[in-house]
Amino acid sequence: MDVLHHIFVDPFVQMAQAPDLLVQTLWEGLVGGILYALIALGFVLIFKASGVFNFAQGIMVVFAALTLVGLHEKGVPAYLALALTILVMFGLAFSVERLMLRPLVNQPDIILFMATFGLTYFLIGLGELIFGGEPKVMIASELGLPKGSIDLNMLGGFISLQKIDIAATIIASVMVVSLAVFFQKTRIGRALRAVADSHKAALSVGISLEQIWVIVWFTAGIVALATGIMWGARSEVSFALQIIALKALPVLILGGFTSIPGAIVGGLIIGIGEKLGEFYWGPLLGSGIESWLAYFIALLFLLFRPQGLFGERIIERI
């Protein structure tokens, strides 16, 4: 009985007693969720257009952030470094398409998945070789990102909102909206959706697959850069950051591999769910359950909707 009480009553009592902490937890979950969603978005973009489950998204986040900071350390002004990093990400997308995707066309999914593993190793080695393995401080203030926090005294306590988190939320939302517009309204966006529906049909109406692939990998690279800046500003830029990318995987299965709104909603559910779980129920198990909680939340959803929340219904025929 005591156990049940701890599970079903105590956490809610706590929520009611300290609403400021509840709001703070929700806020942290929201910010974390948005950042997860951003990583997941990178996965979704590539999976939709080329069917590749891009494991290298995590290292792309690190690589982009590292390039940015590394260039700045070598004396390049912050905004120029940002532009150069974007250029580097384009170069990466281009070479990935040329050297990896094109020769691997028409291979089973799992082979492409493995190839992105190879890419991960390659980028780890390259990044460390060029920029060294030391952690670096993100050049947040040089890029004009705000510092400090806003402390609100309310609900019988205080709620502290980091300005960088607010900026992250805004930038992420802008990116998502502009991506949605890009997909819905532009010519390239339509081509992307056509490719996602059927490679062959898209080819037959004259859409260049190669071009589309470069574009999606480039877009994923930019999303990675944004994620890297945000997460780097929250802690630091180091190779440990790529572990965070694994958190995008439960978001993906929750939201569906092919759905952009799925990535966003999934990210928020996972972000808020794991923070609430860790904060209110974690102490029962001795804390630290965050590492697997997200997967269990996703698994639970999956048992009811095997294709994810927004995934395309799987129709199987013989």
Q: Which x/- pattern, by CB under 8 A, does the window 164-203 give for other proteins?
A: ----------------------------------------
Question: Residue 191 corresponds to which amino acid?
Answer: A
Q: Write the interaction track for other proteins spanning residues 34-73; mark x where CB under 8 A is met and - where it is not.
A: -------------------x--------------------
> Containing H/E element for 199?
helix 199-204
Interface residue with other proteins, options 13, 99, 170, 203 (CB under 8 A): 99
- Residue of the chain from 2, 16, 74, 103 that contacts other proteins (CB under 8 A): 103
Alpha-carbon distance of 203 to 296, in angstroms, equals 40
Q: Report if residue 289 touches other proteins, rule: CB under 8 A.
A: yes
SS3 154: strand
Cβ 289 vs Cβ 277: under 8 Å: yes
Q: How far apart are CA 30 and CA 33, in angstroms?
A: 5
Report helix, strand or coil for 237: strand
Give me the least distance between CB of 161 and other proteins, in Å please.
10
Q: How far apart are CA 305 and CA 313, in angstroms?
A: 9
What minimum distance in Å lies between the beta carbon of 226 and other proteins?
A: 17
Asked whether position 128 contacts other proteins by CB under 8 A, the answer is: yes
Under the criterion CB under 8 A, does residue 240 sit at the interface with other proteins?
Answer: yes
Single out the residue of 264, 8, 21 nearest to residue 155, CA to CA: 21
Task: Please report, as a single letter, which amino acid is at residue 117.
Answer: F
SS (H, E, C) 257-294: CCCHHHHHHHHHHHHHHHHHHHHHHHHHHCCCCHHHHH
- For residues 153 and 204, which CB has a smaller minimum distance to other proteins in the complex? 153
Binding to other proteins by residue 246, rule CB under 8 A? yes
Binding mask 299-318 for other proteins (x = CB under 8 A): x--xx--xxx-------x-x
State the nearest-atom distance from the C-beta of 5 to other proteins, in Å.
Answer: 19
